[in-house]
A and B are shown apart, each in its own frame.
Chain A
Amino acid sequence: MPSWLIVFSVTIGYLLVSLAVGLFSGRKASSSTEGYVAGDRNLGFVVLYFILGASIYSAFAFLGGPGWAYSRGAASFYIIAYGTVGLLPWYFVGPRIARLGRQYGYVTQAQLFSDRYDSRTISAILAIISLVAFVPYLILQMQGAGYVFSVVTEGRIPVWGGAAIAYGVVLLYVFKSGVMGVAWTNTFQGILMLSLAWVLGLYLPYKLHGGVGPMFEELAEIAPDMLRAPGLDGSGNPWSWGGYSSSVLISVLGFSMWPHYFMKIYTARDTRTLKRMIVFYPTFQIFLVPIMFIGFAAVTTFPGVTPVDTILPTIVTSMGLPPLAVGLFCAGALAASMSSGDAIVHAAASVMVKDFYGVFRRGLNGAQETRLIRLGVIAIGAVAYYFAVFSSYSLVYLLLLSYGFIAQIFPTLVAMFYWNRSTPAGVISGLLTGCAVVIVWNLVPSLQWYDIHPGIWGVGAHVVTLVVVSLLTTPMDRAHVEKFVNA
C-alpha cells in the first residue's frame, strides 16, 4: 500500500469515529430547543471542560500557534497568557447567568441581555455582532481542514474536496445531535489533540536539537530577541509592549464573551459543575506549551517557510516519519479545525434563529424553532463553504474586526449585573459607538498609538457613551432590574 493511502485511511478512520460519536450522542438529549441548544442543562464536568478547551484549540492554535512561535517567538505566548485568565469573569457572573437561564428559559447570550434591558434592538445588534465575528472564523477553519487533506493525499484530494468531506461530517452530526454532538465529539477530539500536542511537542525538539533545553539554548545565542518577551512583530523587529499588552487585554475581554462559549454556561448541570470547570480551565493552557515548542524547533532547522502557518505540516511531512504517525497528525489537525468549527456553526445557527429571526417573528413553537436552527446550520455551513473555497476575498480585515467587536459585549455584561442605573438607550448607544470606533481605527492606520489594539479604543468609547447616555435617560423599573442583579 502506498504511504499516502495509509495516511489517508487513518484520517478517514478518525472522521468515521467522530461521526459515530457525534450521531450517537444526540440520543441522550430531548428534541426540544433546550435539548438541541443547551443539552437540557445537564452537562457534567468532563464534557464541559473539553467542550470549552477543544473549542479554543482551533486550527489557529494547532497551526497558527507554531507559526507564531516560528516567526515571532515569544509573541506567541500571548495566546497562553489570555487563556489563563480569560475565563475568570465567569466565576463571578456565570452562576447568576446559569440561574437566570434556568428560571427564564434562556439558551443564547442575547436572550439574557435583551430581557434585562427589555429591548429587542439589543438582541438584533448582538446577533449581528456575533455573526460578523463568527463567519470569518468558520471560513478559516474550513480552509484549514481542506489544506490538511490536500497535503496528506499529495494533492489527490483538492482543498475544496477536503473541506467538503470534513465539514460534511460536522454538518451531519451538528444537524442531527445539536450541542450534544458538539460536546461529545469535542471530548474525543480534545483528547486526541492533547496527546498529539505532547508527543509532537517533545519529540520534534528531541529529534531536531537533542532536547528542549539544548533547543532553547541554541536559540538564545542565535536569536535572543525571539525569546525575550514580547517577541517579534510581523516583520521580524522586536514587538512593542503596547501591541503585546493590548492584544492580551482585548483577548481577555473578548474571550469569555464569544457567544459559542457563553451559551455553554446554560449547558452546565449545576453551578458547582460550572465553577469547577472554570477553576480547572487554566490547566488546559499548559497543553499549549508543547505546541509552541514545535514552532521553536523549526526556527533553525527549517528556515524560510512561508506561509508560516504551514510550518507544522511542513515539518511532519518532510521528516520521514512513518505514515501512521503522519496520519495521526492529520487527524489531530482536522480535530482542531472541526472542534471549533462545529461549536461555531451550531452557535451561529442558534443565534441567527433565536436572536435575529425570532425578534421579527414571535410565537414560534419549540419544534419549529429547532427545525429552523437545523436549517440554519446547513445554510451557514454552505455560505462559509462558498467563501472558503470559491472566494479569494481577504479575511484579514474581518478577523481584525471580530475580536474588537466581541470585546464590546464585555462592558454590557458588567453593566447588566453591577450597575443598576444602566439603561437600554445607554447600552445600545455604547455597543454601536464601540463597534464604530473599532471600524474607524482599523480603517485609518494613522490613528494608531503605540500599536494599541483598536478594540481597546472601542471599549473606552463604549464605556464613556454607556455611562453618559444612561445617566441622561430615565432609569429602568427597579423591581425588574433587581430580578437580574440579585439573581
Chain B
Amino acid sequence: MLFSVAALAALIWPLYSIFGTIEPFVLGIPFSLFYLVILIGAVFSVMLALFVWEDRNDRLG
C-alpha cells in the first residue's frame, strides 16, 4: 500500500517536475514520456511480485 502512494507521488509535483524534462531522448521519445513508461513497468513488476508472493502463501496455507 505504501508503494501505491509512492507511485502516485512519483507521478505528480514535485517528483515529476524533476524528471519531466525533454532531454535525454530515450528510444526517440522525450524523457517526460519515457519516465511514465518506466513507471508503468515498475508498478506492473512490483504488483506482479506481490501477487505471486501472496498467491504462493495462499497455496501453502
B and A form one assembly = yes
Q: Give me the interface of A with B, judged by CB distance under 8 Å.
A: 74, 77, 80-82, 84-85, 88-89, 91-92, 211-214, 216-217, 220, 224, 227-230, 241-242, 244-245, 248-249, 252, 272, 275-276, 278-280, 282-283, 285-286, 289, 292
Contact A84 B39 (CB under 8 A): yes
Which residues from B are CB-within-8-Å of A217?
Answer: 25
Q: How far is the CA of A228 from the CA of B22 in the complex (A)?
A: 6
Contact A230 B20 (CB under 8 A): yes
Contact A282 B30 (CB under 8 A): no
- CB within 8 Å of A: which B1-44 residues: 1, 4, 7-8, 11-14, 16-17, 19-23, 25, 27-30, 32-33, 36-37, 39-40, 43-44
Given contacts A77-B36, A84-B40, A227-B30, 17 further A-B contacts (CB under 8 A): A84-B39, A88-B4, A91-B4, A212-B28, A216-B25, A224-B22, A227-B33, A229-B19, A229-B20, A229-B21, A230-B20, A241-B13, A279-B47, A279-B51, A286-B40, A289-B37, A292-B33
Contact A279 B44 (CB under 8 A): yes
Contact A283 B44 (CB under 8 A): yes
- Name which residue of chain B comes closest to A280, CB basis: B44
- CB within 8 Å of A: which B46-60 residues: 47-48, 50-51, 54-55
If A282-B44, A285-B40 touch, whether A212 touches B29 (CB-CB below 8 Å) is yes
If A84-B39, A292-B33 touch, whether A91 touches B21 (CB-CB below 8 Å) is no
Contact A88 B16 (CB under 8 A): no
If A220-B30, A282-B43, A282-B44 touch, whether A244 touches B12 (CB-CB below 8 Å) is yes
Which residues from A are CB-within-8-Å of B12?
Answer: 81, 241, 244-245, 248-249
Contact partner, B20, options A74, A212, A279, Cβ 8 Å:
A74
Contact B16 A229 (CB under 8 A): yes
- Name which residue of chain B comes closest to A284, CB basis: B40
Which residues from A are CB-within-8-Å of B40?
Answer: 80, 84, 282-283, 285-286
Contact A80 B44 (CB under 8 A): no
If A230-B20, A276-B51, A286-B40 touch, whether A216 touches B28 (CB-CB below 8 Å) is yes
**Nearest 10 A-B pairs (CB), nearest first?**
A229-B20, A213-B28, A245-B12, A241-B13, A81-B11, A245-B13, A88-B4, A229-B32, A279-B47, A227-B30
If A84-B43, A275-B51 touch, whether A92 touches B20 (CB-CB below 8 Å) is no
- Name which residue of chain B comes closest to A83, CB basis: B40
Which residues from B are CB-within-8-Å of A286?
Answer: 37, 40
**Chain A nearest Cβ from B32, distance in angstroms:** 4
8 A-B pairs, CB-CB below 8 angstroms? Answer: A91-B4, A213-B25, A230-B20, A244-B16, A245-B12, A249-B12, A252-B8, A275-B54
- Name which residue of chain A comes closest to B19, CB basis: A229
- Name which residue of chain B comes closest to A91, CB basis: B47
Contact partner, B11, options A216, A248, A272, Cβ 8 Å:
A248
Q: How far is the CA of A81 from the CA of B17 in the complex (A)?
A: 14
Q: How far is the CA of A29 from the CA of B33 in the complex (A)?
A: 42
Q: How far is the CA of A272 from the CA of B28 in the complex (A)?
A: 38
- Name which residue of chain A comes closest to B35, CB basis: A229
Contact B28 A84 (CB under 8 A): no
Which residues from B are CB-within-8-Å of A213?
Answer: 25, 27-29
Point out which of B12, B14, B20, B44 has the most chain A C-beta atoms below 10 A from its C-beta.
Answer: B12
Q: How far is the CA of A85 from the CA of B37 in the complex (A)?
A: 13
Contact A88 B7 (CB under 8 A): yes
Contact B22 A84 (CB under 8 A): no
Which residues from B are CB-within-8-Å of A80?
Answer: 36, 40
Contact A278 B30 (CB under 8 A): no
Q: How far is the CA of A245 from the CA of B25 in the complex (A)?
A: 24
Contact A211 B55 (CB under 8 A): no
Q: How far is the CA of A51 from the CA of B10 in the complex (A)?
A: 28
Q: How far is the CA of A88 from the CA of B43 in the complex (A)?
A: 9
Contact A249 B8 (CB under 8 A): yes
Q: How far is the CA of A252 from the CA of B7 in the complex (A)?
A: 11
Contact B17 A229 (CB under 8 A): yes
- Name which residue of chain A comes closest to B15, CB basis: A245
Which residues from A are CB-within-8-Å of B54?
Answer: 275
**Chain A nearest Cβ from B27, distance in angstroms:** 8
Which residues from A are CB-within-8-Å of B33?
Answer: 74, 77, 227, 289, 292
